[in-house]
A and B are shown apart, each in its own frame.
Chain A
Amino acid sequence: MSTHRSAVSYCLGIESTADDFSVGILSFNGDVLANIISAYIPEKGGIHPREAARHHAEVAGKVLEEAFQKARIKPQDIQVIAFSQGPGMGPCLRTGATAARALAAYLQVPLVGVNHCVAHIEIGKLVTGAKDPVALYVSGGNTIVSAFEAGRYRVFGETLDIAVGNCLDVFAREAGLRQEKGVPFGAMVEKMASQGRTFISLPYTVKGMDLSFSGLLTAVVQLLHEGKHPLEDLCFSLQETVFSMLTEVTERALAHTEKREVLLTGGVAANKRLQSMLSQIADEHDARFCVVPKEYALDNGAMIAWTGILAYQHNITLPVEKSFVKLRWRLDAVYAPWVGG
């Protein structure tokens, strides 16, 4: 290992929008050297932003150290620091931003603020080779159908209320399922659903390319508390309904934009049933179906680092005094000159 600054450029990315704190290190040509994720698991209920932020602050040092060890480079080899600037939970975002500012100042390198939703799509494109997809980004916090048009990722459809992952999580908690390390609620619902036999009709709410899950959640929770149906059947019906809705709007966006690729990303992308539904509509429209592997589909630092590199190479950097976090930073508010150039 040489002691002087290496010829290859590296970016370190910090992700901390919600319950995960993660650090990724990538070379400018897109090699992932490290992608370390530390998840905060609440004892009870959903994510408490302050508690999650406390977790992030506690593990930040350790995760950074681990990332450098894994990447086998020194902090001085880093050319750019990227961080998730939004959207997300305030206390969590601020913890990541503080770490990023400190690192950038210490190393005297530029800072780049990255939009979390853009990052999910960019890393998906990097790891699957997709060029210009219709992207379905589904997680605990987001449900977005997007495609790139003239400088921006446009939002063709999105949830009008809660995110699909949130809908599944709340149902799982109501059903008394317990979250375990490495086994998210979604995976538990998926397993239960695979044993379901009878489909129970639930509200199916699609408005153009937008979706609504809150009424459906209320209905299925009511059925749960009535106790007349086996949990397996409820999980099965819930999954079938929400995934059919997602597939319908994705197909609508595909038909509308006439793109040739479908990209599935976000935490819910791990669900095999959703994957199979989307791959069928992709086939029918002669589009290639790309699913982002789990480690890059969940919230992760690598996606922040990669998007940071793309932005930095187009001279987009962020002065520290302007690096405040943006809790509600929309995907379609980001100018993305690096795409299609």
Chain B
Amino acid sequence: MLIKRGAEASLYLEEWHNRKVIMKRRLPKKYRVSKLDEEIRSYRTLHEPQIIHRAKEAGVPTPTIFMVDIAEATVVMEFINGKQVKQVLDDFSAEERCRLCCVIGNLIGRLHNHGIIHGDLTTSNMILTPHGKVVFVDFGLSEHSTELETRGVDLHLMKRAFQSTHYKYAKESFNMVMEGYAEATGNEAAKNVLEKIKEIEKRGRYVSERKEVAV
């Protein structure tokens, strides 16, 4: 059963050896020339499970991978029961929201500590389970890197996701993410990456000198 048609993959909820699983299929994109399409699909299909596995080693909850089929560009993984953070954040009290954002920041910090860049940090790609655990999903755009620049861009995306989707409390939410991040990486590293984010924002087009970014 198709449950989500995303930009790069379709997610199906299926029964697989008596388990509820997610089948992530990277179907061919007709708009791309076949060579580019194959390159992108096979690279991401192979790469995503590897990084998901490494994220577990970093102490970040991710779905368990059951099967990888490169030819079909399909990954079978554990179905995570819960809700997207995007769906629940607006209903939370300020206190709950802060706690959740702090947890998210901590997990991002752990990924970065292990040289993992998620590449698409949005509140749609985080699942909150009924037990209160946050599970990171969708590592399709992730990469290995320990550079300050890539870490900065990763967090910049998170900040932008708050600004476009949770604009009412974007600032406080992102501040809490950075607090959680600092717990994982240490204050010095967090300070450096925050400086980098500012630099990245200034580099962006049409950011006024005083850097008035909409909230």
CB-based nearest B residue for A243? B31
Beyond A208-B122, A244-B36, whether A332 also contacts B163 by CB under 8 A is yes
> Interface 1/0s, chain A 139-154, versus B by CB < 8 A?
0011000000110101
Is the Cβ of A247 less than 8 Å from the Cβ of B157?
no
Q: For the complex, what is the distance from the CA of A201 to the CA of B30, rounded to whole Å?
A: 18
Determine if B121 is an interface residue (Cβ-Cβ < 8 Å): yes
Knowing A155-B164, A208-B119, A328-B208, the reply to whether A199 touches B7 (Cβ < 8 A) is no
Known contacts A87-B205, A329-B208; is-contact A240 B167 (Cβ 8 Å): no
Question: Is A102 an interface position by the 8 A CB rule?
Answer: no
Confirm or deny: A204 has a beta carbon within 8 angstroms of a beta carbon on chain B: yes
Q: Which 4 A-B pairs have the closest CB atoms?
A: A252-B7, A277-B31, A251-B7, A328-B206
> What residues make up the interface of A, taking CB atoms closer than 8 Å to B?
86-87, 141-142, 149-150, 152, 154-156, 158-161, 163, 199, 201, 204, 206-210, 240-241, 244, 247-249, 251-252, 254-256, 276-278, 280-281, 284-285, 326-333
- Assembled-state Cα–Cα distance A142/B204 (Å): 11
Sampled A-B contacts (23; CB under 8 Å): A149-B165, A156-B164, A160-B153, A207-B120, A207-B141, A207-B157, A208-B119, A208-B157, A209-B157, A210-B157, A240-B32, A244-B32, A244-B40, A252-B7, A255-B5, A255-B6, A281-B31, A328-B205, A328-B206, A328-B208, A330-B214, A332-B214, A333-B214
1/0 per position for B152-193, CB-CB distance to A under 8 A? 010001001101110100000000000000000000000000
Q: What CA separation (Å) do A278 and B33 show in the bound complex?
A: 14
| B205 engages A256 (CB within 8 Å) | no
Instruction: Give the number of A-B contacts (CB < 8 Å).
Output: 112
B33 contact set on A, CB distance < 8 A = 199, 240, 244
Main SS of the interface on chain A? mixed
Chain A residues with CB under 8 A of B213: 330
With the chains together, A160 CA to B120 CA distance in Å? 14
Q: Give the dominant DSSP class at B's interface.
A: loop
Contact A248 B167 (CB under 8 A): no
Q: A255-B5, A255-B7 are in contact. Are A206 and B207 (CB under 8 A)?
A: no
Q: From residue B189, how far is it (CB to closest CB) to chain A in Å?
A: 21
For B194-212 the 0/1 string (1 means CB < 8 A from A) is 0000001001111111001
**Does B91 sit within 8 A of A, measured CB to CB?**
no
Q: With contacts A241-B36, A244-B36 known, is A280 near B31, CB below 8 A?
A: yes
User: Given A149-B167, A204-B40, A332-B214, does the pair A87, B206 have CB atoms closer than 8 Å?
Assistant: yes
Contact A199 B208 (CB under 8 A): no
Given A158-B204, A199-B36, 5 new contacts (CB under 8 A): A160-B204, A247-B31, A252-B8, A327-B206, A330-B206
Which A residues are in CB contact (< 8 Å) with B205? 87, 141-142, 158-159, 163, 328
Contacts of A150 in B (CB 8 A): 167
Asked if B31 and A276 sit within 8 Å, CB to CB, the answer is yes
Cross-chain contact A248 with B200 (CB below 8 angstroms):
no
Chain B, interface size: which category? 35 or more
Known contacts A210-B157, A329-B208; is A248 also within 8 Å of B7 by CB?
Answer: yes
Q: Which of B153, B167, B207, B214 contacts A328 (CB 8 A)?
A: B207
**Which chain A residue lies CB-closest to B164?**
A154
What separation, in Å, do the CA atoms of A255 and B4 have in the docked complex?
A: 9
- Is B19 an interface residue, CB under 8 A from the partner? no
A206 to B30, CA, bound (A): 18
Of B31, B32, B200, most A-chain CB atoms within 10 Å: B31
CB-nearest residue of chain B relative to A212? B153
Alpha-carbon separation in the docked complex, A159 to B153 (Å): 12
Complex CA–CA separation, A18 to B169 (angstroms): 36
A148 to B153, CA, bound (A): 24
Q: Which residue of A lies closest to B215 (CB)?
A: A332
| Chain A residues within an 8 Å CB radius of B35 | 199, 201
In the complex, the chain B residue whose C-beta lies closest to that of A256 is B124
Query: What is the CA–CA distance of A284 and B28 in the complex, to the nearest angstrom?
Result: 12
Q: With a CB–CB cut-off of 8 A, which chain A residues contact B95?
A: none
Contacts of B204 in A (CB 8 A): 158, 160
Is the beta-carbon distance between B122 and A256 smaller than 8 angstroms?
Answer: yes
Give the contacting residue for B153; candidates A207, A255, A330; CB below 8 A. Answer: A207
Residues of chain A within 8 A (CB-CB) of B36 are: 199, 201, 204, 240-241, 244
Residues of A within 8 A of B165 (CB): 149, 256
- Residue in A87, A276, A285, A332 whose beta carbon sits within 8 Å of that of B5 in the complex: A285
The minimal Cβ–Cβ distance linking A286 to chain B, given in whole angstroms, is: 10
Complex Cα–Cα for A251 and B140 (A): 15
Inter-chain CA distance A260–B124, complex, in Å, is: 19
> Is the Cβ of B160 less than 8 Å from the Cβ of A155?
yes
Given contacts A208-B141, A208-B157, contact A329 B206 (CB under 8 A): yes
Q: How far is the CB of A240 from chain B (nearest CB, A)?
A: 5
B30 touching A280 by the CB < 8 A rule? Answer: yes
Contact pick for A208, options B120, B163, B200, B208, CB 8 Å? B120
C-alpha spacing A284/B29, complex, angstroms: 10
Nearest CB in chain B to that of A333: its residue: B214
Are A149 and B200 touching (Cβ within 8 A)? no
Residue of A nearest to B124 (CB): A256
